[in-house]
């Protein structure tokens, strides 16, 4: 199922498919520098309440992204997510 990175809950895993056109190039480039590129596996480690930034792991690094950025990252959820 394709969705956005922001829709993941703690414990969910996915593969990045790409970005939507609404994300500015400067953010897209910076995310790719961080390792958020197509084909990369991502795990959602924390999904706090009240819209607080979520915590994601890419490779061996952990990042916090807010909804203004994470909603534009298109992902394919892994089959083993509930």
Closest CA to 8 of 63, 39, 41, 47: 47
pLDDT tens sequence for the chain (82 residues): 689 999 999 999 999 999 999 999 999 999 999 999 999 999 999 999 888 999 999 999 999 999 999 999 999 998 876 5
Q: Order across the sheet with 61-65: list the strands.
A: 2-4, 73-77, 13-19, 41-46, 54-58, 61-65
pTM: 0.89
pLDDT for 82 equals 54
pLDDT for 51 equals 80
């Amino acid at each position: 199922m394709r969705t956005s990175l922001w829709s993941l809950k703690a414990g969910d895993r996915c593969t990045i498919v790409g970005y939507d056109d609404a994300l500015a190039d400067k953010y897209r480039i910076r995310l790719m520098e961080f390792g958020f590129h197509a084909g990369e596996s991502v795990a959602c480690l924390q999904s706090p309440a009240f819209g607080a930034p979520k915590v994601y792991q890419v490779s061996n690094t952990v990042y916090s992204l807010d909804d203004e950025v994470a909603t534009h990252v298109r992902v394919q959820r892994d089959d083993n997510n509930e």
